[in-house]
Amino acid sequence: MLNAAQICWDTDMEDVCSPDRRVLVTGATGLLGRAVYKEFHKNGWATLGCGYNRARPRFLCCNLLDEDAVRAVILRFQPHVIIHCAAERRPDVVEHHTEAALNLNVHACATLAKEAAGIYLIYISTDYVFDGRNPPYGENDTPNPLNMYGKSKLRGEEEILRHCPGAAILRVPILYGEVEKVEESAVTVLWDRIQDGMESSTVDHCQQRFPTYTGDVARVCRNMAERGLQDSSLRGIFHYSGKEQMTKYEIACAIADAFNLHRSHLIPLTEQPAGAGAQRPQNAQLECSRLELLGLSVEPTPFKTAIRKCLWPFLYDKRWRQTVFH
């Protein structure tokens, strides 16, 4: 456990502590957290990102389960806004390592929310709080998660709102973005199978998904933060999602098309094999009108446009660049 005395501040910490607009981003080493940190930082916010195992040297190392450490960070930095991205978001990992996942997805929420009095807190949740049997789902629809990941995120929502009733919950679906390795996202993890193109590969063609670009989610978070500082009624549950509906097979085909790669080796799997991991909802489409009516949503980046940006660094043959980007 990290205690308050062990917190190591960046050498730039004093510069970060601008008196104007300060945001603390948890999980800043992760897929979404990096995008959120970048979005606020490039738009004039004093931005502090924290992580744990991968924090140093760029971000602050802080164990979110340590109440003293969390309190020390908040007292020192005095954020106006907290974006809580930190989570165990891999459903199969949550299913098999439930206690550790509950610590991060539930107990850390309670710890953070207790210290967030007077701070606008945005908690990132998931469409997996729904069972996927009757889409689309609005903010007022009753959750019914099918797996431990969805259950843990729903409990996290409850802890956030119990201890910090002025907080906002932002539910999002499957995410993809600029990755450090392709395994970071359930979308980009398909890349090696697509690019290799030599052996047949079966890909799920049952469950409907709405892949959503982290850069778009980050912009929504900033829109909410800027409005939330001015309007205390911006609280409760919100939904944001990409609009392109695809199975994983269709996602893989779209990625192949975006890079002019062959896709004949991709085989649609129309039945779920037994023992295929944590149960996923068939179609947990989110209805997102609340953000849209408030003028806080952003038009989703077209999937093929965003995925090129994300996966270009991992392209084996860079000679494709001229045909892909021009």
The 3-class secondary structure across the chain, one letter per residue, is CCCHHHCCCCCCHHHHCCCCCEEEEECCCCHHHHHHHHHHHCCCCEEEEEECCCCCCCCEECCCCCHHHHHHHHHHHCCCEEEECCCCCCHHHHHHCHHHHHHHHHHHHHHHHHCCCCCEEEEEEEHHHCCCCCCCECCCCCCCCCCHHHHHHHHHHHHHHHHCCCCEEEEECCEECCCCCHHHCCCHHHHHHHHHCCCCEEEECCCEECCEEHHHHHHHHHHHHHHHCCCCCCCEEEECCCCCCECHHHHHHHHHHHCCCCCCCEEEECCCCCCCCCCCCCECCECCHHHHHCCCCCCCCCHHHHHHHHHHHHCCCHHHHHHHHC
Q: Which structure tokens are listed for 308?
A: 């090129």
* CA 81 to each of CA 31, 85, 286: distance values in angstroms, whole numbers, following the listed order: 20, 13, 25
pLDDT at 105: 93
pLDDT band of residue 246 (cuts 50, 70, 90) is very high
pLDDT at 6: 41
Percent of the chain whose pLDDT exceeds 90: 74
Whether pLDDT at 92 is above 90: no
- From 156, 130, 124, 158, select the one nearest 142 (Cα to Cα): 130
pLDDT digits over 2-60, tens only? 333 344 444 345 455 556 899 999 999 999 999 999 999 999 999 999 988 776 677 88
- From 98, 16, 104, select the one nearest 60 (Cα to Cα): 16
Residue identified by tokens 């259950």 is: 151
pLDDT digits over 115-155, tens only? 998 999 999 999 999 999 999 999 999 999 999 999 999 99
Percent of the chain whose pLDDT exceeds 70: 89
pLDDT at 312: 92
pLDDT at 12: 46
pLDDT band of residue 70 (cuts 50, 70, 90) is very high
- Domain annotation covers residue 257: no
Whether pLDDT at 84 is above 90: yes
Whether pLDDT at 300 is above 60: yes
- Domain annotation covers residue 261: no
State the residue range of the domain holding 112: 4-178+212-243+280-301
pLDDT at 185: 94
Residue 136 burial class via C-beta count within 10 angstroms: exposed 0-12, middle 13-18, buried 19 and up: middle
Lowest mean pLDDT among 218-227, 295-304, 312-321: 312-321
pLDDT at 9: 46
Count the domains in the chain.
1
Whether pLDDT at 72 is above 70: yes
- Domain annotation covers residue 153: yes
- Domain annotation covers residue 231: yes
Cis before 136? omega within 30: yes
pLDDT at 53: 72
Q: What is the CATH number of the domain that holds 292?
A: 3.40.50.720
- Mean pLDDT of all residues in the chain? 89
pLDDT at 196: 81
pLDDT digits over 94-123, tens only? 888 888 889 899 999 999 999 998 999 999
